[in-house]
Amino acid sequence: MLLRGMAVAAALIGGAALMINLTNGEAAVPSIGEALSKSSEMSMAPMSIGNPSTATALASLGMGRPFVTGTPPTQGFDISPAIPNTYKSPYRIKSGDTLGLILKRAGVSPKTADAAIRSLKGVYNPRNLRIGQTIQVLFASMKPAGHVADRFSGFEIPLDYARRIHVSQAPQGGFKAYEIERDLQTQTVQAEGNIDLSLFAAGSKAGVAPSVMAELVRAFSWDVDFQRDIRKNDHFKVMYERKIDDNGTVVYNGRIVFAALTLSGDLKPIYLHQLKSGAWDYFDDKGQSAKKALMRTPIDGARLSSSFGRRRHPVLGYTKMHKGTDFAAPRGTPIYAAGDGIIVKSGRNGSYGNYIKIRHNSEYATAYAHMKSIKRGRSKGSRVRQGQAIGYVGTTGRSTGPHLHYEILRNGRQTNPMRVKMPSGIKLKGEELANFVATRDRIQAMQASLNPGASKVAQR
């Protein structure tokens, strides 16, 4: 009997030693390949990092530990080696957050969080994090449920649809940061359709992503008034790139290569072309830039709510001259600079509320009013490029609802943005024109080869 007791004790001690070896050191650290292969399977966050009282509270609620991959033990105490499983817990960045605060909220100790953040040096600057961005905090589940708390193993910061920063424990100790890029393929697709209710509705019917239709509107906004120029039975056509993964799933809708609008029988095509300088731009079939000196509608997806001219003022209650154009849009919608120029006024401006005025040249200026806020860095004296965000739709000043009040001033006098004759952009000549013609012909040949007769984009 005594010998049997000693044998059981020895087995238990041996088992305990085995468990300690497995959870102390390099063997317990998942490699970056393991972390990536497992992390996509999980999304739940741990309630605590190594806190026994929390585990007891969860057990009393019948919640237990977060679900992890792997087969749970069936009955009794399983002391068999456990393969680390890594899962992700998302944390959305709020106003005032830092990377350190995010990790603290996830239950990571200050010392460990500092080591992980320091590994980013030379790879990524955490000051580039923005409100609304989501960080995936990684945890390694080392044991069968109920025995050992999950352990912090790193984090991921998405950069775009294809790239992310991955921080994980290094075999030699501490942490190491990597930039990881997904292996994606570029696919070119095209679609077209008649416009019945709206351009966006026609695009949706043809299977085109809203982001692509928004880019189409932006590309034509230099010359087309989308509130007045679009008529029923007008037509659109678009050819664009998209990124797909190994399973053929679309992960990103990219740039437009070609687009055309047929408005009241008038065909307006544009082609994407790279200049010798390296810049990309859209040109019509004759090599004339699609951009004009100023945009007629410096905002996406807005509704023309009030035109230039005399009207009954919605706040004052009497008829007066409305010296601009109002575009109703949701609060926070980005507002773009209508052209290159210098900001000559930025800030509060009486009944205009938050206001920016941009001087484009000696003849033209534009003004933007009632903004919710002005984008950081858009102060008096700063330069802006056409299409850059300068602020966000709001209802400051004398206003009854969120909208953009937009003015074009010619020689200091407000003029109708929808009727002013816009000066033309650049026109290609010589070698640049010859290069464009080759681009145009190549795109036209590509059009002919992409699903002739198909009008709807295949979805995956």
Of 176, 156, 175, which is closest to residue 164 (Cα–Cα)?
156
For the chain, give every domain's residue range.
25-60+82-181, 185-292+428-449, 303-415
Which pLDDT score is estimated for 394?
Answer: 93
Which pLDDT score is estimated for 86?
Answer: 79
CATH of 185-292+428-449, one of 3.40.50.11030, 3.30.1150.10, 3.40.50.300, 3.10.450.350: 3.10.450.350
Strands 389-393 and 334-336: antiparallel
Average pLDDT, the chain: 78
Strand partners, 268: 261
Of 283, 206, 265, 211, which is closest to residue 243 (Cα–Cα)?
211
Give the number of other Cβ atoms within 10 Å of residue 399's Cβ.
18
Is 42 a residue whose pLDDT tops 50? Answer: no
pLDDT digits (tens, 9 = 90+) for 200-235: 889 999 999 999 998 898 888 777 777 667 888 899
Q: What are the two backbone dihedrals, phi and then psi, of residue 53, each rounded to the nearest 5 degrees?
A: -65, -35
pLDDT digits (tens, 9 = 90+) for 151-182: 899 999 999 999 999 999 998 889 999 999 99
Which pLDDT score is estimated for 17?
Answer: 38
pLDDT digits (tens, 9 = 90+) for 49-63: 344 444 343 333 333
25-60+82-181 architecture in CATH? Roll (3.10)
Q: What is the 3-state secondary structure (H, E, C) of 237-286?
A: EEEEEEEECCCCCEEEEEEEEEEEEEECCEEEEEEEEECCCCCEEEECCC
pLDDT digits (tens, 9 = 90+) for 91-100: 999 999 999 9
Is 142 a residue whose pLDDT tops 60? Answer: yes
Is 314 a residue whose pLDDT tops 70? Answer: no
Find out whether 386 and 290 touch, Cβ atoms under 8 Å.
no
Cα–Cα distance list, 279 to 298, 429, 435 (Å): 21, 16, 14
Is 450 a residue whose pLDDT tops 90? Answer: no
Mean pLDDT over residues 60-79, rounded?
A: 40
Which pLDDT score is estimated for 296?
Answer: 78
Mean pLDDT over residues 238-267, rounded?
A: 92
CATH of domain 303-415: 2.70.70.10
Which pLDDT score is estimated for 272?
Answer: 95
Which pLDDT score is estimated for 84?
Answer: 60
Cα torsion through 117, 136, 155, 110, rounded to 10: 50
Q: How confident is the model at residue 36 (pLDDT cuts 50, 70, 90)?
A: very low
Is 386 a residue whose pLDDT tops 90? Answer: no
Find out whether 388 and 402 touch, Cβ atoms under 8 Å.
no
Q: How far apart are CA 307 and CA 408, in angstroms?
A: 13
Which pLDDT score is estimated for 104?
Answer: 94
Which pLDDT score is estimated for 230?
Answer: 82
Mean pLDDT over residues 429-448, rounded?
A: 94
Q: Is there a common fold for 25-60+82-181 and 185-292+428-449? A: yes
pTM for this one?
A: 0.58
Find out whether 49 and 107 touch, Cβ atoms under 8 Å.
yes
Q: How confident is the model at residue 293 (pLDDT cuts 50, 70, 90)?
A: confident
Q: What percent of the chain has pLDDT over 70?
A: 71
Checking 309-317 for CB contacts under 8 A at 24+ apart, the result is 309/416, 314/400, 315/398, 315/399, 315/400, 316/398
- Lookup result for tokens 């790193």: 154
Which pLDDT score is estimated for 220?
Answer: 86
Is 454 a residue whose pLDDT tops 70? Answer: no
The SS3 call for residue 288 is strand
DSSP assignment string, 144-204: STTTS--EEEEEEEE-SSSEEEEEEE-TTSSEEEEEEE---EEEEEEEEEEESS-HHHHHH
Q: Which residue has the higher pLDDT, 370 or 451?
A: 370
Which pLDDT score is estimated for 24?
Answer: 34
Which pLDDT score is estimated for 19?
Answer: 37
Q: What is the 3-state secondary structure (H, E, C) of 28-56?
A: HCCCHHHHHHHHCCCCCCCCCCCCHHHHH
Q: How far apart are CA 187 and CA 189, in angstroms?
A: 7
